[in-house]
Structure 1
Amino acid sequence: MSADEDKYPGDSGRRRFVKGVVGGATLAGVGATGSAAINSVTSSSGAGGGAIEAMAIENTAGPAPRGMPQIPVEIDGGELKGVWPEVKEVKEGGRTIKVAETELGGKTYSSAWFQFCGVESYEAVQPDYEPEQGNYFLAPSSATYDWMSDLSEGDRLTVDMFSDYESWGNGIGVDGLGKPANGIWRSLDTENDLLVNVIRSPVIEELAASGSAEGADGETYEVSDSVQTWLQASTAQGFVAWLNKCTHFCCVPKYKGLDGSAKFDAANEVYCPCHQSVYEPFSIVSTLFAARPRPA
């Protein structure tokens, strides 16, 4: 069966969820419960796990229990970087461990946001790991988008590459919502790639500036004052990024990367073809879950 085929027939009740009805707030509780059950047999031998509140792009349809965690963005001389939290030592379970967390935009941003789907074992998310290439977003070995075909693995993503973000399109969904890139972060020289998606979008730009935006898709996007404060601290010049690991079964979703996404009303959203989970990149929400502990 191809990735674009409908795995769950319409009369099975398993395929579609109503967008805006079953959202991040409701599903976050499911994710927390499920993750807690899994972690109950692993937490004693690990470090830095437990209940975590993270900011994420909202899951709006499909079986994923919560959104994918956001990575704060900063711009360094025109090059895109993901912010890494401050490393510190804390007492946990009678021992001293290292954690990476910092206060940002009214939230506690932590490396534990990325401790799910086995990512907690990646070298790149160990609090004190210092990648040779720094925290820059880098081109991957396999690009999702045609415009990235001239890039080599390890090239830094730059602001200039997204200059047409207000009009960009690739025939999937509506043009002008934003220009995406897939990439890797903190992991060029490690065994496991930390996969990310980045979008430069006028919607994100306006949400950070005023808390409200009209998208090229005709949708009105709004955020609360607290989320606007977070966006002002975690986005830059309309850039938003997230760890691109589906919270359902660890697959790799795509924003405007699959023609078949239109069948699931996801042509303008982030779509995971494995089990039809959908994420809204322009809806940033708080989500609760039990972060898996890192290996001791």
Structure 2
Amino acid sequence: MNAREAVERLHGGRVTGIRQSDGSVFLVSFDDGETVIAKRGVGPGATRAEAAGMRWLGESGDVLVPRVYEHDEEWLVMEYVPPAPPTPETAEAFGRNLAKLHLRGAEGFGSPPPGGPVDAWMGVAPMRNEVCPDWASFYAEHRVLPYLRECVEQKLFTTDEVQVFDDVCERLGELAEPEPPARIHGDAWSGNVHWARDGVWLIDPAAHGGHREGDLAMLQLFGTSQLSRILGAYTESAQDEGRPLADGWRERVPVHQLFPLLMHAAVFGGGYVRQALSAARAAPR
């Protein structure tokens, strides 16, 4: 089924124009002037996972997320939000709101959003959301090690280099500051931080119960606009809410970046292999 057929069946109306944004995302216009986004899922359960994640992140109203209109097993139809340039004001509001969202909590570390599948996706890569007793065991078992194994199968790391990652996984319990599970976006890199006139909208979630430092590390991974203002407002808001970030959170950024870097290394190779190894070596000791 193509984008036109999917949108007309799921959303109704007469489609008058379709523009492909990237390989799986389409901007669809109707004869009444409405515009929506149609997105084809990358694999089994992808549209259900994204729809559940958007609803979970948006239910409190803390952050802005596009409304999900309809979805099936192949297509997701959602609200279109016109972009606008970043501003200091919207950055600071986003930082404060993200801090509040994280404190909404989750069922457990690794828990999927309500109604979301255990086997979900982060971009084009599979990602398993399974509840674990603590963050360290969840992060090692379901985030770092699966992609490390894929990299090993591709012979991207030497035996000594693999040991660097294993050492970090063994120390995760010491590195992670004890916190209750946070309600996190899970893939908050700059491309999923959508700037609009009325604020920052979060798109393309890989939502789950995780560690709030994970979202902050993702914001820093690929150069988010107005980053210092976002992080400054976030830390102030967390302090005001009585849940300040633990000392040393900036030093732990490489630990939380291990998962996305290893995932990128397994899928894309190239410079991500060296970046992942550098992050593992930069983990606090």
TM-score w.r.t. the length of structure 1 is 0.26
Q: Which has the larger radius of gyration?
A: 2
Higher helix share goes to which structure? 2
TM-score normalised by the chain length of structure 2: 0.27
Q: Higher strand share goes to which structure?
A: 1
